[in-house]
């Protein structure tokens, strides 16, 4: 099925196909993001360097600003990114621990 731009959808089938395709793209992007967490775990010299509150705040602020630029609900996006960053930190800690 051809994926239409949101403005071109005229049926819920088309909308759902677009949502499903977008979700697959988001998961692929998350896989790439988590690959960077693996790289960070490999590069950081100490486990204590995994959590960086200043960087976390910067990442969330960037997401909030990007959301605002796209006229999306900035508070909701910031909350989503808070969760994403915490999951990423947990993933990176586990990756750091696996390296031995």
- Contact indicator for 50, 40 with CB cutoff of 8 Å: yes
pLDDT score for 45: 95
Provide the residue-wise pLDDT of the chain in tens; the chain has 100 residues. 799 999 999 999 999 999 999 999 999 999 999 999 999 999 999 999 999 999 999 999 999 999 999 999 999 999 999 999 999 999 999 999 998 7
At 89, is the secondary structure helix, strand, or coil? helix
Let me know if domain 11-98 sits in CATH 1.20.59.10: yes
pLDDT score for 1: 75
Q: Which helix (H) or strand (E) holds 56?
A: helix 53-69
Dist. CA 25–CA 98, nearest whole Å? 28
């Amino acid at each position: 099925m051809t994926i239409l731009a949101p403005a071109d959808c005229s049926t819920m089938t088309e909308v759902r196909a677009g949502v499903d395709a977008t979700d697959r793209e988001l998961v692929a992007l998350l896989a790439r993001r988590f690959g960077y967490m693996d790289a960070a775990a490999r590069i950081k010299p100490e486990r204590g360097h995994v959590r960086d509150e200043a960087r976390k705040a910067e990442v969330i602020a960037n997401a909030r600003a990007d959301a605002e630029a796209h006229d999306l609900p900035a508070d909701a996006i910031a909350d989503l990114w808070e969760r994403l960053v915490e999951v990423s930190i947990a993933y990176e800690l586990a990756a750091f621990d696996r390296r031995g």
